[in-house]
Amino acid sequence: MRTGPVKFELLRRDSGTQARRGRLQTAHGTVETPAFMAVGTAGTVKAIGPDDLNRLGVEIILGNTYHLMLRPGEELIAEMGGLHRFIGWQRPILTDSGGFQVFSLSKKRSISEEGVQFQSHLDGSSWLLTPERSIEIQQRMGTDIAMAFDECPPAMADRAYLEESLSRTTRWLRRCAEAWKADRCALFGIVQGGLDRELRRRHVEEVCELDLPGYALGGYSVGEDATTMREGVAYSAPLLPVDRPRYLMGVGGPADLVACIASGVDMFDCVLPTRCARNGLLFTSLGKVVIKNASHAKDPRPLDPNCACYTCVHFSRAYLRHLFMAREILAMRLNTLHNLKYFLDLMAGARAAIEQNRYAAFAATTPAWNKDHSEHG
């Protein structure tokens, strides 16, 4: 196996579930797993800075090849000393290959064996993204973990389409592996297969033939309900190699995180905490809070009495509501700081529970409110 500058150590396995406690070593620092990656799509975690991320204890963020290649371009990023230096972040970075965005954001696209020809969602300009090009961009930006270029078909795609897509994704993965320079970064392969268990198992075998430093599950939470998604992950995650990190792409609801950790997933990313923060939906130990609601107008309490984040220590719900209703920029920052702290604390709690071999009990205490958008407290 070519691991390059990234190594994974499995520290503990929970006896009552598939939950795992691990440690990912990279050239830019250590990531304790299970881990939630803050999403910095275009080179920034929206509304907060790298100093905020450091104070929160964020250990790894995600950037995106599609967005960064369109603007400002990997040539500029490389000229500025690489993505870490360009954005002022010296801890680990994982970059998505751009495949999902090509299929979800581009105005027009056509798939061929070479790659995907698409139109930019910014200005309609024409671009070609191939497996080799995706890896080249990620390596030039200096990422710690590069994702293979794949196709993410809709969850409800028919079997014939999934068969064709999987075969092409496997061929693309082999080309990614040939373009990958192991001394520059790690390469994670991506398993697809929709909701078809036979195809998932087959694709795991094909992807794992390449003996890569890590593996990801793609194509979940793309249209199916939460129960179906969790059942699919519970089947697929244990099929991946025990000694490699397992990454579930794009899944991030608190209840989903807790359930999928129990299935053996180590790494997650999602825009949910930051996007919800900007829209005034806040996660707390007491329930979800819609901060614009009139019930908070004169509420002197902190957002979450059980949270030690900067927002909860210093400000009242009444002030947070005032900022949000006045459309003050500070509202976005304070809300984002809190939501990310909530997700990081959830991961810390999960790691502690696995270390103490009590993950099932920990999972059972996760509030049911996570499953909906109701407000409490």
CA atoms within 13 A on the CB side of 54: 8
- Overall average pLDDT of the 40-69 stretch: 97
* CA end-to-end span of the chain: 51
With CA atoms as reference, report the closest residue to 134 among 63, 205, 204: 63
Segment 204-233 shows an average pLDDT of: 95
266 is known as an active-site residue = no
pLDDT-derived band at 154 (thresholds 50, 70, 90) equals confident
Please tell me whether residue 341 adopts helix, strand or coil conformation: helix
| CA 193 to centroid of chain Cα atoms | 19
Q: How far is CA 89 from the centre of its chain?
A: 17
Within 8 A by CB and 6+ apart from 123, the residues are none
Give residue 146's identity as a one-letter amino acid code: A
**What digits encode the pLDDT tens for the residues 4-24?**
789 999 999 999 999 999 999
Residue where the block lists tokens 């984002």: 336
Q: Which residue has the higher pLDDT, 346 or 158?
A: 346
pLDDT tens-digit profile of 75-122? Answer: 999 999 999 999 999 999 999 999 888 878 766 889 999 999 999 989
Percent pLDDT > 70 in the chain is: 95
Helix, strand, or coil (residue 323): helix
Please indicate whether residue 225 is annotated as part of the active site. no
Residue 357 Ramachandran class (φ > 0 left, ψ -120 to 50 alpha, else beta): left
Q: What is the mean pLDDT of residues 184-199?
A: 96
pLDDT classification of 372: cutoffs 50, 70, 90:
very low
What is the rounded CA–CA span in Å between residue 368 and residue 108?
Answer: 40
User: What is the C-alpha radius of gyration for the chain, rounded to an integer number of angstroms?
Assistant: 20
Domains, the chain, ordered by start? 7-270 (3.20.20.105), 280-362 (no CATH)
Could you say which of 96, 144, 266, 299 is catalytic? 96
Nearest to 159 by CA among 202, 111, 193, 206: 193
pLDDT at 1: 65
How far is the C-alpha of 115 from the C-alpha of 132, rounded, in Å? 9
Q: Which two tokens stand for residue 30?
A: 């250590």
**Would you give the distance in Å from CA 345 to the centre of its chain?**
16
Residue 116: its pLDDT value, please?
93
pLDDT in tens, 244-286: 999 999 999 999 999 999 999 999 999 999 999 999 999 999 9
**Does residue 56 register a pLDDT over 60?**
yes
What percent of the chain is modeled with pLDDT above 90? 88
* pLDDT of 30 higher than 80: yes
pTM, entire model: 0.96
- Please say whether the beta carbons of 272 and 252 come within 8 A: yes
- Give the model's pLDDT for residue 373: 37
Q: Who wins on pLDDT, 209 or 121? A: 209
CA 49, CA 3: separation in Å to the nearest integer?
31
The pLDDT tens digits of the residues spanning 315-371 come to: 999 999 999 999 999 999 999 999 999 999 999 999 999 999 999 999 998 765 555
Band the pLDDT of 376: cuts 50, 70, 90: very low
Catalytic residue among 256, 266, 269, 299: 269
Q: Tokens representing 116?
A: 């995907």
